[in-house]
Structure 1
Amino acid sequence: MKIGKVVLGGLLIASFLISACGVVRVLPKSDDKGFTSNPNSRRLMASIAPSLPSDALEADASDYILGSEDLIEVMVWKNPDLSTTVFVRPDGKISLPLIGDLQAAGLTSIELRDSIKVLLRRYKKTPEVSVIVREINSFSIFFVGEVVQPGKINLRSETSFLQAITLVGGFTEFAEVKKIILLRREHGRERRIKINYKDIVSGDDPDGNIMLKRGDTVLVP
């Protein structure tokens, strides 16, 4: 009986490990330019691979700028009839009970919450309002060049450069991973940021694993 229990326990553990491994994407093999050929790089990528659930972002804990197609929940304390969950429309607005249409795109959830409170004071003396971002659908970045799956990526949460690389399947065998360029629009101008992938994964440049912003374009020569 003891032997049976040991065997059964071993099978359960093995089953658990196989299931756990199943969540890690298996990427195409490549040469020493791609991260898949190096066991250490594979372990690193498995540890940083992003989960992309629609985790709620509390209004007072996020400076995320709302955009069209984002899903937000507006809760008015003790007033369920005024509480609702809505998508930001393509015109950047949402429609709320009593208030009607209201601009949401371009605001943080905190700013939107404050705007709603001001408008509700016409009907309630001290409205208590909470705004939660339920889904981020307007956060897109672009990959161009020597990655397995170039193109547009829609993100649902903050994502680092290394995490984004896993989403496009890694580099091709021709990628010059020491000469990656990130293009970012800031204050009406285009900024070019150099990224050396090998320095990041080797630990020589941990700060190079920057967080990506809406509209970023990653060029992999």
Structure 2
Amino acid sequence: MKRVFTGLSALLLTVFLASCATSSGSESAPPTTSTLATDAYHIGVDDIVQVSVWRNPELGITVPVRPDGMISVPLVGDVAAGGRTPAEVSKDIQERLATYVRDPQVAVILTDLRSHEYLSRVRVTGAVRQPVSLPFRPGMTVLDAVLAAGGVTEFAAADRSDLHRKTPEETRTYAVRLDRILNRGDLSTNYTVSPGDVITVPERTF
């Protein structure tokens, strides 16, 4: 059961991605959802944290991190969250809950990244009707972001669009067939975006 919860937590935790060098060329597809550098994100003040305890829903909470970096958890009391990763906070709560609950299984999920809002935004630039900088939301896709930008212009070379993603090692670029997504319903490149992603839509060359 612990493995199930750990895997679920890793899939749902939103992450903050750091930057480094730039890779050459486009790659076929990014990793699924936001599993890159799951342990790298350090919780900040005002981030919204959801704590879930398997088979003990009454112990679950969804709260912002206080200015002192703490959150209050039923039975446990104050737990340090600021400056720590979700996995570290989960382990701390789990160990302290063991005094009251038999074999507790704890998941800590970030539902809103407020402390790093601008660094975690998703941006859409180029031949779109309204270039935008969007707050990241779990489950957001390329199509969601492009529609929020008003769609593409008549000058767009939509099938030459790219998604740029920073990792701790480099910046990776993934080809997005946006025309196929918008006009053919081909969702094979409608990738789930991650915090900090940039989607670029080039103009046609005449």
Note whether the superposition's TM-score is higher than 0.5: yes
Amino acid at match of 1:136: D
Q: Does 1:72 align with 2:53?
A: no
Deviation at 1:129, TM superposition (A): 5.5
How large is the RMSD of aligned CA atoms in angstroms? Answer: 3.7
> If the length of structure 1 is used for normalisation, what is the TM-score?
0.55
Amino acid at match of 1:101: A
Q: Of residues 71, 85, 99 in structure 2, which corresponds to 1:95?
A: 71
**C-alpha distance in 2 between matches for 1:166 and 1:83:** 35
Q: Contact conserved, 1:99 with 1:119, CA < 8 A, in 2? A: no
1:27-106 matched pairs, under 5 angstroms: 61-62=8-9, 63-66=11-14, 68=44, 69-74=46-51, 84-88=61-65, 93-97=69-73, 98-103=77-82, 106=85
**C-alpha distance in 1 between matches for 2:82 and 2:200:** 34
Amino acid at match of 2:129: V
**C-alpha distance in 2 between matches for 1:201 and 1:171:** 9
Deviation at 1:152, TM superposition (A): 1.3
Partner of 1:180: 161
Deviation at 1:153, TM superposition (A): 0.5
Q: Does 1:124 align with 2:100?
A: yes
Higher helix share: 1
Q: String of CA shifts for 1:117-167, please: whole Å, max 9, x gaps.
A: 11334x536363654648434552111222222131013331221122112
Whichever of the two has the greater Rg, that structure is 1
**C-alpha distance in 2 between matches for 1:104 and 1:64:** 19
Identical residues among aligned pairs (%):
23
1:212 is paired with a residue whose SS is coil
1:72 is paired with a residue whose SS is strand
**C-alpha distance in 2 between matches for 1:131 and 1:162:** 29
Q: Of residues 147, 153, 174 in structure 2, which corresponds to 1:193?
A: 174
Higher relative contact order (CA 8 A, sep 6+): 2
Deviation at 1:197, TM superposition (A): 1.4
> If the length of structure 2 is used for normalisation, what is the TM-score?
0.58
Deviation at 1:78, TM superposition (A): 7.2
Please say which of residues 125-134 and 174-183 is displaced more in the overlay. Answer: 125-134
Q: Contact conserved, 1:94 with 1:104, CA < 8 A, in 2? A: no
Instruction: Give unpaired runs (5+ residues) of structure 2.
Output: 15-42, 115-119
Instruction: Give unpaired runs (5+ residues) of structure 1.
Output: 1-57
**C-alpha distance in 1 between matches for 2:103 and 2:86:** 20
